Structure 1
Amino acid sequence: MNNDLYTYSKQMQHYLEAQEKRIQQLEQEVKRLTEEISVLKNKPPIHVDRIEYKFDQLKVESLDGTLNIGLNPNDLNNIDELAVNHQPVSPSPFPFPHREQVVKEMAKELITHLDEMIQETEAQVGITLDSTYHDFIKQDVERQLEQRIHMYFDHSLPNERAPHQFEHLKEKVFEKVKSDIQVALMNFITHSQGQTGGNQPNGI
């Protein structure tokens, strides 16, 4: 019990220090944005003439790019706050013991389900992709997994970080990331039909 209280007090100390640092960063950011807005207000308006695109002349030769899990990975660093009960809550690091090991184990478990999730999504939309696209999907998802898991841990609420709530929080983060993957797979496979024609189960 004493160890749990000590651990929790240390976590709260880290949390408060991170909050103070975050407030300072936000104050600097507000100042910078205010200055940028002032500069933009003084700039003359930009006029753009009509732009016409001829989409019938476009041809997709290959499918590449990035499969984004829920959000573009570049946006993960730009998420400044969440709203809880209509009150802003800034994310802060959650330095729980063996964090890197826990995140890697969670990512590894999610990866073991990837093939099954891809096949289930293909069955739902009636599209079967070539195995090379399966490899592309898995590589892109694996590349983003750990960053996504870290993000959800850092967006957890203080009451979720208590030692006796940690297993529940792990399960919650796992299910959130899994749900993000499923949404990303659905969007990717559905859009692939329009881009490349896809491979229908009947071979057409």
Structure 2
Amino acid sequence: MNYYQSWNEWVKQVMKHIQDQQQTIEQLTQKIEQLQTQEHPKTVIEKIEYHFDQLKIETLEGTLQIGLTPNGMDTGNIEDLYTPQSSAPKHDQALDELMNGVVPQDIDNYAAEHGIPLANQHREQIIADINKQLPERFNFYRNQHPDLDSVSIVEKLQQEVRHSVTQYFTHKGGEQE
């Protein structure tokens, strides 16, 4: 039951088989080299726009940040608004009056005018969050407009606070926490 008639014929078939395999290896090597030298298309993501007003939020945890940007200013980079926190805030009595009297009064007035029920804990949280941001905003205005006096800066901050409180309650819809 010898499939090969002679040893010579068997050796020829084995050699032929080895040559075929060698050709296949050479072809595959060439294909690999071609694929490695080709430029692959690169994915470029130019701009991503987030529309937070279209998100449904079921649970919200963390610190409340009411944005205090001047007149809803659109900033290109977050770094544009960054002021180092290591520097001690420099403010005066007018800012203290804004923080301790005007901010709570503005929040209470807005809630009362629009019939928004406001739990005391929620009210205090809003006031604390705004007051935490005010010294940095005061320094921001002082650095951007050195010609303004403290009273003018505080007036600008009061406008920002009123705008931010309005936006906060408009987007919040009067829900209680």
TM-score w.r.t. length of structure 2: 0.53
Match for residue 156 of structure 1? 145
Structure 1 unmatched ranges of 5 or more:
1-41, 48-54, 81-98, 161-165, 200-204
Q: 1:184 aligns with which of 155, 164, 169?
A: 164
Hey, what does 2:131 align to over in structure 1? 142
Among residues 170, 173, 192, which one is paired with 2:153 in the alignment? Answer: 173
Equivalences for 1:77-92 in 2 at 5 Å? 77-79=79-81
CA contact (8 A) 2:142 2:153 kept: yes
Higher helix share: 1
Report how many residues are paired: 119
Contact 2:94/2:154 (8 A) holds in 1: yes
Structure 1 or 2, whichever has the larger Rg, is 2
**Structure 1 position 69, deviation (Å):** 1.7
Structure 2 residues not aligned, in runs of 5+: 1-40, 47-53, 83-88
Following TM superposition, where does structure 1 have runs of at least 4 consecutive aligned residues deviating by more than 3 angstroms?
A: 55-58, 60-64, 74-77
Residues 30-79 of structure 1, C-alpha deviations (whole Å, 9 max, x = no match): xxxxxxxxxxxx953249xxxxxxx897524668531222369x967415
* Counterpart contact for 2:64–2:126, Cα < 8 Å: no
Q: Which residue of 2 aligns with 1:109?
A: 97
Determine the C-alpha separation between the residues in 2 that align with 1:56 and 1:154: 36
What is the percent sequence identity of the aligned residues?
17
User: Alpha carbons of 1:104 and 1:58: their partners in 2 closer, same or farther (altered >3 Å)?
Assistant: same
Give the Cα–Cα distance (whole angstroms) in 2 for the partners of residues 148 and 79 of structure 1.
Answer: 9
**CA RMSD between the two structures:** 3.7
Structure 1 79/139 Cα, relative in aligned 2: closer, same or farther at 3 Å?
closer
Map 1:56-95 → 2, pairs under 5 A: 59-60=58-59, 65-70=64-69, 77-79=79-81
Contact 2:68/2:164, CA 8 A, preserved across alignment: yes
SS in 2 for 1:113: helix
Aligned 8 A contact 2:106 2:162 in 1: yes
Q: Which amino acid aligns with 2:158?
A: K
- What is the TM-score normalised by the length of structure 1? 0.47
State the distance in 2 between where 1:64 and 1:43 align.
39
Measured in 1, the distance between the counterparts of 2:176 and 2:161 equals 20
